[in-house]
Structure 1
């Protein structure tokens, strides 16, 4: 560990709560009918991984936690922006009452697909890098955690697809009338969320560099002979 507490057993309860919380909040997401509530619970689920990785206090864990915080911060913000564009046109946050938007807003559907793929941590997104680092460090801490983190990853993919298919597919409700087309500022907003993700994908050392350099410096100082 990079920081040595009085007893490493002190954070065992918090580790278990964080990892178990991933599964619980993901399960809650599957039962949501409110679009914004689903996105909010999704963020809570991802932060369970961040808490677990931070408590382990290993270089991989801290690097993965920082990577996932930045990546999911952009992803969650993009999902909330997309949810707001739907709300401005349908005046409801209930997914079943705002379905079938692919028929009239096809370009916005493409942004929905990109955001959901990032939320699922599909390669080659930076979200995948963060989750792999965290899951590897947690697995190294305890092998049995792979069952919970694996289940959490599967549930994340399930509710992300559920959200995308419910909002975009299906028959357009009769209550949905006079929907205005998307505007340039909305597409610009989505692009400004996606471009930083692409930049981090091309140069991940912007996030990972400080922690790995710090760990390398610590190892160098430990290996130096003492006078």
Structure 2
């Protein structure tokens, strides 16, 4: 029942929140913290010297890959609730469904949980805050994800007809004909590529970030984009090894296009949320290159990048969100000289900007170093093209920071409020974790090492 508790605790918190609406936010926070503590307990008792699924019970199982993403989710959820206390019920529902997504060992149940996340997410985006286009953005996210996942549902049906089971561990023992793998892989690929997102399935992401409340943006960038990478690592590569090798050049080409395109597009944006959104596209496509490098360094680097990106990108959206809450605009042209009147904000914003550029000492540096080392082993030319993303990231990241924090103050902003205690606490927690995983990357790498090794084809 250790794994079931991860799913049940948020659900129980939501149940009590409905019964006692006056204390809904406090109850939600307590149950989120209990889930976080329980995830830390699982880290302590998890055996990293085994690649097998541990604590298995009723189609649930845990390995290093799912463990690090569970801890990331339970860590970010209380921060989302601090930012958006009115969203406690949808956030608890999303947390419970995400726990199920990362734990289930049945392809069909995974699909149901994977799709069910859309329901509270749609409610979160369509109802709260944002501009008049928030419903359009929510529909775009819903339709993109649902349309891509329908192809995965067809592939799951064909897989069941072939193997007479949807249990992942049983499917791994069933040899599939190479031609059959090529067909089934495509259905899974589209569903997961939308979540990454990869070109040309990326159009929903910038608009979704712009129209989401701050907590929704942290949730999208920090956790939900990782569902695509997790799907490839958990299902596509183990179930279809021949197809994964066959489509490797195609996936690498799409990822390269995504890195360069997202970087160039981010440079010309004037909305701070869109800049960070396109940065997320570039970083997650770099993680895709690591996943399909088919070597240990690339896969471990991609998993480490998913964690690092979840922390740093979530923090950047937090910073932009608190500016929007104070001054009601995200356009870069209205900001200048914030370092003079908001020094704490400027310090944290600089730290996360440098982390986004993969400055040495940050978790992003370790992740990108591993990914590029893995790419050099298979194709130095591929690594060279992908490294152009580093230059582009530095360009738009430092340009954004320079425009917002330096220079003379602008006439559009007359009142300045630096970070509150809650803001300082949340940003410090994110900064400390980013620095910790940059200085001691083995905290993650030791947990995922054997699970990553088992994925090699």
Secondary structure of the 1:179 match is coil
Q: Which has the higher contact order (CA 8 A, sep 6+)?
A: 1
Compared with structure 1, are the counterparts of its residues 147 and 180 closer, same or farther at alpha carbon in structure 2 (3 Å cutoff)? same
Q: Does residue 1:199 correspond to 2:199, yes or no?
A: no
Change (3 A) 1:133 1:218: closer
Aligned residues of 1:63 and 1:212 also touching (Cα < 8 A) = yes
- Does structure 2 conserve the Cα–Cα contact (< 8 Å) formed by 1:64 and 1:134? yes
Equivalent of 1:124, from 361, 374, 377? 361
User: For 2:448 and 2:438, how far apart are their aligned partners in 1?
Assistant: 17
How far off its partner does 1:28 sit?
Answer: 0.6
Query: What's the CA shift for 1:214?
Result: 4.5
- RMSD between superposed Cα atoms in Å: 2.0
State the shift of 1:182 in Å: 2.6
> TM-score scaled to structure 2, two decimals?
0.45
Moved more, 164-173 or 202-211: 202-211
CA distance 1:148–1:35, change in 2 (3 Å): same
- Work out whether residues 361 and 435 of structure 2, in 8 Å CA contact, stay in contact via their aligned partners in 1: no
Q: CA deviation at 1:106?
A: 1.2
User: What is the DSSP-based 3-state SS (H/G/I as helix, E as strand, rest coil) of the residue aligned with 2:247?
Assistant: helix
Kept in 2, the 8 Å contact 1:63–1:207? The answer is: no
Q: How many residues align structurally? A: 218
- 58, 63, 69: which is aligned to 2:300? 63
Using a 3 Å threshold, how does the CA distance of structure 1 residues 24 and 176 change in structure 2: closer, same or farther? same
Which residue does the alignment assign to 2:398? Answer: 161
Cα displacement (A) at 1:183: 1.3
Q: Which runs of 5+ in 2 are unaligned?
A: 1-236
Contact map agreement 1:20 1:148 (CA 8 A) in 2: no
- Summarize the Cα distance change of 1:146–1:82 in structure 2 as closer, same or farther, 3 Å threshold: same
Matched, 1:152 2:389: yes
What 5-or-longer segments of structure 1 have no aligned partner? 220-227
Q: Single out whichever of 75-84 and 148-157 deviates more from structure 2.
A: 148-157
TM-score, L = length of structure 1: 0.89
Q: What corresponds to 1:72 in structure 2?
A: 309
**Counterpart of 2:233?**
none
Structure 2 counterpart of 1:40, from 277, 287, 292? 277
Cα distance in 2 for partners of 1:175, 1:5 equals 56
- Alignment CA distance shift 1:180-1:141 (3 Å): same
Matched with 2:241 is 5
The answer to whether residue 316 in structure 2 is matched with residue 106 in structure 1 is no
